[in-house]
Chain A
């Protein structure tokens, strides 16, 4: 994904610089956190004067400089990983096995390994700062009776700290996957960067302290049981000896040392805090709104203008920022709205408005389709569509459906499955901002937005006419070619996802292959029923409740902005649109919104769809995506009401289908 997007001007000119700025700030904040750490870790309540003097001496000592440099290096590495791993659309695993696959993905393994190493480095620095007891790996033995030959013993405290660093690094990386820490969400309100940082600093500190406490607890338990293994290995490798005078740390007496636990906790908090601050600053910088010009006088800048940028499909962060900018300008900036409503010179075409409205409608239409497809699958009780039932087109290729399902597990999307369909209104949006969740296993971390199912959707379900302008309700669409889509319940039965073949283009219905498909389907059912009886497998493959619903709306922030932007623009056009450019698209906008409303309403009738997620306690992971569907539902209603309350009775003159007219009437009477 990044290799594609690396060349994008936006990544080069904006995102990278924002990341650099955020890293620079985190490095600059490092002395502050280090000072705090020094004061806390050297805390001695009974000798306050000595304590302060010692801390100042330590802070000004040249030996502290080197750890600081190391820590800066660590922050650079963490910042780099933030930049490489962040996403604006979370990937939501629908079952435990998918989560496992996500954890074992090579990309994630690299992440974990690097974090382990970096954690050790931080803990080394912390141990150097924390005090004499932790400073070196080896120390002269204290218990040796023969004073003649000073033997070197292992300083287990140092080893304990280093391993704690590795553990915390790994648990940070692990929790990052579980809590979607790499997901960058956009704030509900805009604030200046400093204010945002100041506002969230307290919660970040609290989070770090709590998380560190949990980590310490887990680590101590782990060390109690398995601590002797790494220790023996180190002893062997470095040819050191155990100090017989001190009790070893994998015993209760050794571990229940308050000062050791306190130092470990403070060091862990320091470690997590520096990382969290880096993450926080990165999030704040990346989600800062960016002003895209609506139109440019220079030809070379046109690809940086809003209408062009909105159609972007690879660089999602740019698309999101563009949509955010659209929502903001539609709301706050009359001059920009004028530009949107303006006509081209020469020619007199409302190119800006056409491009913007087309893109927004395409986004919303794509969501509608996704919801309808999902609803169809669930309505058919989770069974994957019989190929013969669904469409002739797939019957040929469905023979290898099981294999392709297995391939899906191995996270190999088929590039060949991209079918360019000229004339498809949805093509661009579906390729670009497609649902990462349409595949239940969201397997592909490299490009989570190129799932085969979506591509199939894009290629396959070309509506008979362009979306807008035509009257289409979900009911109508369902009569079209039935699709395979998120068979969300199929994993509940414990089968590998029955992804049909990714090449549905060949239109050759053959009787023979249909039989083969039937046979395969039966075999699959058998395997499925066999597997569901195994508890472990059922546990792994059971669908997590409401995950599919969350996954369907994972990128809904884009839709919310599109709705806000469109509705504000339409509402403003009532008084500001001199040439009436909006009027021409008003019917399609209304019918698109109403169709989406219908689909959303139907979706919320499904089980688990309207259940609220459990409130997460303090964690650095952003749980915004869990409630995006509710936000979308509210934003959609508000958008429709905004249009109806502005236009009022005039909407009766708008030419839309009778069904939608009725629905609109409900909105006009405030009965929805």
Chain B
């Protein structure tokens, strides 16, 4: 079993991980390394969204709303408004608060009913504590993004087939960057608030699903269009009563279905997006669904719940297996590219578990620990660095050779920052995780979100969103075992300043070709 102690020590502060080649991480001082590289391939732009420039949406609080309402309205008008805005509890609240204008018995009874409702909801909340959270807090709690509330980049999504990605920002806008066009369309919609997840539809060029506060938006972004602000008519709104906020969405790899999950809804929804039909899939237990991940071969779907329980759905007949965890809820999970292996981590534990599925034996009986991420101290030149702890998110590259793990760290202790640990993975003869290295960013920037590019030609490309608003791309150059390599040697980056790279480089390429 791999542990963090076997890792090469992380770079000293100030050094930035640029790329991996020859099984080694190459570092530099400046983040602007990437522009000098390969010219025939599209360079994903290294973007920077400063936290200060983005204005978060100012939300009308329910408490401040009353100040703007005309209090000369009749009680009936206000009651109707309260009913429309806040439902039954709002109506009861309105009636209770307007004593003197309504009969006393009505005030009394509505007050009693309100108290009863609150008691019941608090009872329900004590069973499932996450229900007491507000919408935004809930998204922040269950998001795969570290410190989602404060993050300038709320979500990030690579297109599964082309060089195109979407970035959701703090100000509730989404920007789309494309390799082919210089225009970066910005998507804004009235309902697009607190974006928690995005995913491009597979086997499609233009459809982007966005999980929002109250609904899901399906954007149709025409790749040929030159418009920088597609109208909100390009977005399709999918919503279901009681199914918000949506914290996770997953397209089936065949592109036909979309599954959405909300921590407040015990059912997850399977959507036929084009026809706007949804089928709720409900199972007892869990109190909601927080995270979803569809295995790349499309045969299984992992669904985590806010309780210490997750499910693995089989997607042909939609039956599920229950997996109770011992310690806490399942925080992160990812599938191997062939869909046979699920890695997941549990809140409160510092290990990565693996479940192996095969067609022959049905399902696995128990999960095996494959990596130990307990805290390790690396002694540096100037200060010690503590690494390890709980996992925030997991990402496995599409070739199945690199696994990036975003470790939470401890926000209070400066010597224990969040960090990305990268493992090499090997599936034969036995499944193994081998240490590769730590990815470090600029001074003071901590990683918030990680995602792999879906079809990087020369290995794997990890995109990292940092707390200072920078989005950087870290390529790992290697020759994949599984992928038939047609194009000869991978074009390695040319650094005129680093002559020592050249010597090893040639050797490496000769070996390959």
Which residues does A use to contact B, with CB under 8 Å? 187-192, 195, 199, 331-332, 564, 612, 624, 627-628, 630-631, 633-635, 637-638, 641-642, 645, 669-672
Contacts and interface: CB of A to CB of B under 8 A. Distances in A.
Nearest to A188: B272
B511 interface: no
Contacts of A191: 279, 317-318
16 contacts: A188-B270, A189-B257, A189-B315, A192-B319, A564-B256, A612-B276, A627-B274, A630-B275, A631-B272, A634-B204, A637-B203, A637-B204, A642-B203, A670-B205, A671-B205, A672-B223
A188 B282 CA distance: 16
B88 interface: no
Interface in B137-181: 159, 161-162, 164, 180
A280 to B, nearest CB: 14
A630 B274 contact: yes
A199 B161 contact: no
A192 B257 contact: no
A639 to B, nearest CB: 8
A199 B277 contact: no
Nearest to B270: A189
Contacts of B203: 637-638, 641-642, 645
Contact of A638 (B224, B255, B281, B317): B255
B280 interface: yes
A669 B276 CA distance: 28
Contacts of A641: 161, 203-205, 255
Interface string B233-276: 00000000000000000000011110000000000001011111
Contact of B161 (A612, A637, A670): A670
Contacts of B255: 638, 641-642
A645 B275 contact: no
A671 B181 CA distance: 11
A630 B236 CA distance: 12
B162 A670 contact: yes
Contact of B280 (A199, A612, A669): A199
Contacts of A187: 279
A642 B202 CA distance: 9
Contacts of B254: 331, 638, 642
Contacts of B223: 670-672
B321 to A, nearest CB: 14
Contact of B318 (A189, A628, A634, A671): A189
Contacts of A669: 162, 180
B316 A190 contact: yes
Interface residues of B, number: 31
A670 B163 CA distance: 10
B206 interface: yes
B221 to A, nearest CB: 12
Interface string B190-215: 00000000000001111000000000
A501 B180 CA distance: 55
B276 A628 contact: no
A633 B274 contact: yes
A666 to B, nearest CB: 9
B243 to A, nearest CB: 14
Nearest to A646: B203
A94 to B, nearest CB: 21
B8 to A, nearest CB: 38
Contact of A631 (B161, B270, B275): B275
B185 to A, nearest CB: 14
Interface in B341-372: none
A627 B279 contact: no
B218 to A, nearest CB: 10
Interface of B: 159, 161-162, 164, 180, 203-206, 223-224, 254-257, 270, 272-277, 279-282, 315-319
Given A638-B256, A645-B161, A199 B282 contact: yes
A190 B281 CA distance: 11
Q: Is the interface of A mostly helix, strand, loop or mixed?
A: helix
Nearest to B316: A332
A199 B280 CA distance: 7
- Most chain B CB within 10 A, of A631, A633, A634, is at A634
Nearest to A185: B277
Contact of B276 (A564, A627, A633): A627
A633 B180 CA distance: 25
A630 B204 CA distance: 14
A199 B316 contact: no
Nearest to B205: A670
A672 B205 contact: yes
A584 B162 CA distance: 29
A626 to B, nearest CB: 9
Nearest to B280: A199
Nearest to B299: A332
Going nearest first, the 4 A-B pairs with the smallest beta carbon separation are A634-B274, A627-B275, A670-B205, A631-B275
A670 B164 CA distance: 10
A671 B204 CA distance: 9
A672 B257 CA distance: 20
- Most chain A CB within 10 A, of B270, B276, B280, B315, is at B276
Given A641-B203, A670-B161, A672-B205, A190 B318 contact: yes
Contacts of A199: 279-282
Contacts of B205: 641, 670-672
B275 A628 contact: yes
Contacts of A612: 276
Contacts of B273: 634
Given A638-B203, A645-B161, 4 more contacts: A189-B315, A634-B274, A638-B204, A641-B161
Contacts of B270: 188-189
Contacts of A637: 203-204
Contacts of A331: 254
Contacts of A195: 318-319
A672 B162 CA distance: 12
- Most chain B CB within 10 A, of A189, A192, A641, A671, is at A189
A641 B205 CA distance: 9
B319 A188 contact: no
B224 A671 contact: yes
- Most chain A CB within 10 A, of B159, B206, B279, B319, is at B279
A645 B201 CA distance: 14
A191 B273 CA distance: 19
Contacts of B159: 670
A649 B280 CA distance: 40
B316 A672 contact: no
A195 B314 CA distance: 14
A199 B315 CA distance: 17
Contacts of A633: 274
B274 A188 contact: no
A669 B315 CA distance: 30
A631 B318 contact: no
A241 B347 CA distance: 78
A638 B164 CA distance: 18
Contacts of A642: 203, 254-255
B201 to A, nearest CB: 8
B366 to A, nearest CB: 26
Contacts of B257: 188-189
A616 to B, nearest CB: 11
A188 B223 CA distance: 28
B228 to A, nearest CB: 18
A187 B257 CA distance: 12
A627 to B, nearest CB: 4
Contacts of B277: 188, 624, 627
A493 to B, nearest CB: 31
Nearest to B298: A331
A195 B280 CA distance: 11
Given A199-B280, A633-B274, A635-B256, A192 B161 contact: no
A330 to B, nearest CB: 11
Contacts of B282: 199
Nearest to A564: B256
A188 B204 contact: no
Contacts of A672: 205-206, 223
